[in-house]
Amino acid sequence: MKRIVIFASGSGSNAENLIKFFLDSDHASVIQIFCNNPHAKVLDRAKRLGVSALSFNRVAFTKTDDVLDILKATEPDLIVLAGFLWKFPEHILKCFENKVINIHPALLPKYGGKGMYGMNVHNAIIQNNESETGITIHYVNENYDEGAIIFQVTCQVSKQDTAEDVAAKIHKLEMEYFPKVVEQLLNE
Ligand code: GRF
């Protein structure tokens, strides 16, 4: 069995979708959720779905080896950032080369970087009259949203669309494609 761990900061709809997708799999499963916010909804979802979850603070993540040591002990085949808002520290990346991926709700390299998350991204798409947007799944490196792109898929943005409409289209793409891309990466 391949072992997936997920880092999430907020609602965790992608985390839940990944957990459920791999419940039926003989090849992989989500074994641990890591969360930097003790009040995040993702922790309730993990509990409901019976997946172990732990929250940690910034010091444990960036200044000590606390999170790194736990991560090493879980022996993940893939570390999936799903709505995780902190920069991933270099000392952890170094130990898991080409094993950390992220999903971004736009077509990188556009609409990426610090502050470009959630509705900020979709509002910018509307403000700039973009006619398309999409999702990007990419490897994580030491800079926000700059690692090698693994997968992108687009959707149209019509003139009538609000930022909320765009968010709904993106959510649909994420639900459909993210688990499949994770599965494919684990099979490679
Ligand atoms: C998703 O749109 C994802 O692309 C981005 O953060 C959002 C997380 O949503 N990185 P959720 O917490 O999975 O519901």
Contact between 133 and 155 (Cβ < 8 Å): yes
Give residue 163's pLDDT. 98
- Asked if residue 82 has pLDDT above 90, the reply is yes
- Asked if residue 114 has pLDDT above 90, the reply is no
Q: Name which of 15-24, 110-119, 126-135 the model is least confident about.
A: 110-119
Say if ligand 1 is within 6 A of residue 103 CB: yes
Atom of ligand 1 at shortest range from CA of 105: 4
Give residue 143's pLDDT. 86
Q: How far is CA 47 from CA 32, 36, 50, 51, 140, in A?
A: 11, 16, 5, 6, 27
Residue (of 56, 85, 89, 78) closest to 181 by Cα position: 78
Sort strands 149-156 and 132-139 into parallel, antiparallel or unpaired.
antiparallel
Task: List alpha helices for the chain, DSSP H.
Answer: 13-23, 41-49, 58, 66-74, 90-95, 118-127, 163-187
Amino acid at 32: Q
Return the residue whose CA atom lies nearest to atom 1 of ligand 1: 83
Say if ligand 1 is within 6 A of residue 45 CB: no
pLDDT digits (tens, 9 = 90+) for 25-50: 999 999 999 999 999 999 999 999 99
Give residue 144's pLDDT. 83
Say if ligand 1 is within 6 A of residue 138 CB: no
Contact between 76 and 48 (Cβ < 8 Å): no
Residue (of 85, 76, 136) closest to 106 by Cα position: 136
- What 123-126 contacts at long range (C-beta under 8 Å, 24+ apart), as own/partner pairs, is 123/163, 125/157, 125/163, 125/166, 126/157, 126/161, 126/162, 126/163, 126/166
User: Chain-wide mean pLDDT for the chain?
Assistant: 97
- Backbone angles phi and psi of 47, in degrees to 5: -60, -50
Q: What pLDDT band is residue 123 in, cutting at 50, 70 and 90?
A: very high
